């Protein structure tokens, strides 16, 4: 860690989250994160949280980063999304996979938050089956030329650099594309269910010239090395995001149930309401433990970390969906109104079941793990 102790960073995170939480509804309505919030994230070092210290990051361990993600994710899902996209999907991936030359060119600026990065994999026709992308690259002299259209790209509206995936006859490679490059067009998108303040956009690439030095990790490494590494890191971040959202909903649910009276009693005394609270407490505790387990395995570089991360992401996003739905139920009419946070938490939780590999994609991965691990031989 940059300052030798986890306490100052978590103290900073908790203080930042306390300022952030009351403003999350405003960001959601405005569909944008104010510049000063991004600046505060940068100044606190959060945007370089998992980037090694030698590249200007905080060098947090997976567990420390998970806790940071939970704290910020509990306060504001869109602000947390900046951590997932900029820090996990791009900066940490480059730190692990890119050439020294790329690290030198990009990592210090990404770690400090001087430049913001986004991750451009999905297309209108290529989601879960991302390898079927139609964005193409062609080697022309010393450069590569990219053509295509990426969709649902969080923070593309404000990012300075894009990690773009493209294919040449099925060979997928990854490139870093600077926003100012000729032929890059950003088409903002709005009206999302959640993550509304993530400056989402389509990225249209028309004969975009990328220097060969911006090819990340060699021709054909785009999917196996770069995207898979990035999605694993992103998945870990989303697992902790689910804990944050579920914890926020649990606190709203319990506070309301302890106050609200119907039929002459607090509604928290009704057993049917208590069941929802008990399930929420249990689900949040279990999700947090699965995230911690994935974090520990990642820190040990265990091969089991891959399956553990899918398990944590699948479980935690499912729990967040159920707990936020029950929180709406416990708040009744108030739960359906934007004057209370649970309506937004309910929307944000659904997003977690779709991004960084849908719940069905996680189930498929977990089942593959189960079949190879637990089927009796012979």
Ligand X SMILES: Cc1cc2nc3c(=O)[nH]c(=O)nc-3n(C[C@H](O)[C@H](O)[C@H](O)COP(=O)(O)OP(=O)(O)OC[C@H]3O[C@@H](n4cnc5c(N)ncnc54)[C@H](O)[C@@H]3O)c2cc1C
Is 228 among the residues that bind ligand X (CB under 6 A)?
no
Looking at beta carbons only, is 88 or 247 nearer to ligand X? 88
Q: Which of 64, 252, 348, 356 is catalytic?
A: 356
- Residues ≥6 apart with Cβ < 8 Å to 251: none
User: Which H or E run includes 172?
Assistant: strand 171-178
Q: Select from 42, 71, 72, 85 the one that contacts ligand X (CB under 6 A).
A: 85
Helix/strand/coil percent split, the chain, to 5: 60, 15, 25
Among 121, 217, 232, 365, binds ligand X (CB under 6 A): 121
The span of 66-74, 109-117, 334-342, 354-362 binding ligand X (CB under 6 A) equals: 354-362
| Binding residue for ligand X, selected from 119, 137, 162, 315, defined by CB under 6 A | 119
Are 194 and 351 spatial neighbours (Cβ–Cβ below 8 Å)? yes
Token digits for 7?
């306490």
Interface with ligand X by CB under 6 A: which range of 132-140, 221-229, 256-264, 348-356? 348-356
- Binding-site member from 195, 214, 221, 247 for ligand X (CB under 6 A): 195
Alpha-carbon torsion (328, 332, 337, 338), positive or negative: negative
Spell 21-36 as b/e; 16+ CB within 10 A means b: bebbbebbeebbbeee
CB of 18 vs ligand X, minimal distance in Å: 25
Measured CA to CA in angstroms, residue 310 lies from 128, 196, 232, 335, 359 at distances of 15, 25, 8, 30, 9
Which of 311, 259, 263, 265 shows the shortest CA–CA distance to 289? 311
Could you tell me the smallest distance in angstroms from the CB atom of residue 376 to ligand X? 26
If the CB atoms of residues 118 and 267 are measured against ligand X, the closer one turns out to be: 118
Task: Give me the least distance between CB of 172 and ligand X, in Å please.
Answer: 13
Burial class (CB in 10 A: 0-12, 13-18, 19+), 83: buried
* Residues 122 to 181 in contact with ligand X, rule: CB under 6 A: 122, 127-128, 152-154
* C-beta of 50 vs 88, nearer to ligand X: 88
Residues 1 and 7 sit within 8 Å (Cβ to Cβ): no
Instruction: Tell me if 120 contacts ligand X by CB under 6 A.
Output: yes
Which of 10, 14, 192, 286: binder of ligand X (CB under 6 A)? Answer: 192
Q: Is 300 a catalytic residue?
A: no
Binding window for ligand X (CB under 6 A); candidates: 93-101, 106-114, 262-270, 353-361: 353-361
Please give the positions annotated as active site. Answer: 356
Binding site for ligand X (CB under 6 A): 85, 118-122, 127-128, 152-154, 192, 195, 351, 354-355, 358, 360-361, 364
């Amino acid at each position: 860690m940059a300052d030798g102790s986890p306490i100052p960073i978590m103290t900073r995170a908790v203080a930042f989250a306390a300022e952030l939480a009351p403003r999350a509804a405003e960001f959601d309505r405005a569909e944008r994160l104010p510049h000063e919030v991004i600046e505060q994230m940068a100044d606190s070092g959060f945007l370089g949280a998992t980037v090694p210290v030698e590249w200007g990051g905080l060098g947090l361990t997976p567990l420390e980063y998970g806790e940071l993600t939970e704290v910020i994710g509990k306060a504001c899902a869109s602000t947390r999304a900046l951590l997932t996209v900029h820090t996990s999907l791009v900066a940490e991936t480059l730190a692990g996979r890119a050439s020294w030359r790329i690290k030198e060119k990009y990592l210090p600026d990404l770690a400090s938050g001087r430049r913001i990065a986004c991750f451009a994999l999905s297309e209108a026709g290529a989601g879960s089956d991302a390898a079927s992308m139609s964005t193409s690259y062609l080697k022309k002299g010393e450069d590569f030329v990219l053509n295509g259209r990426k969709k649902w790209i969080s923070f593309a509206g404000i990012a300075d650099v894009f990690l773009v995936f493209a294919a040449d006859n099925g060979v997928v490679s990854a490139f870093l594309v600077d926003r100012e490059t000729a032929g890059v067009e950003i088409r903002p998108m709005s009206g999302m269910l959640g993550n509304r303040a993530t400056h989402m956009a389509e990225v249209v690439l028309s004969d975009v010239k990328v220097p060969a030095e911006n090819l990340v990790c060699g021709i054909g490494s785009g999917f196996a090395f770069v995207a898979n590494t990035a999605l694993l890191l992103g998945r870990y971040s989303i697992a902790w995001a689910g804990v944050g959202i579920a914890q926020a909903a649990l606190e709203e649910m319990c506070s309301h149930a302890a106050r609200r009276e119907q039929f002459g009693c607090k509604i928290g005394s009704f057993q049917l309401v208590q069941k929802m609270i008990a399930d929420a407490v249990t689900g949040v505790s279990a999700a947090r433990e699965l995230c911690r387990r994935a974090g520990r395995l990642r820190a040990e570089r265990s091969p089991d970390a891959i399956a553990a991360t899918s398990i944590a992401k699948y479980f935690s996003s499912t729990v967040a969906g159920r707990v936020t739905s029950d929180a709406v139920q416990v708040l009744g009419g108030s739960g359906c109104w934007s004057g209370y946070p649970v309506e937004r938490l309910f929307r944000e939780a659904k997003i977690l079941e779709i991004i960084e590999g849908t719940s069905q994609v996680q189930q498929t991965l977990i089942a593959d793990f189960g079949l190879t691990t637990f089927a009796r031989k012979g």
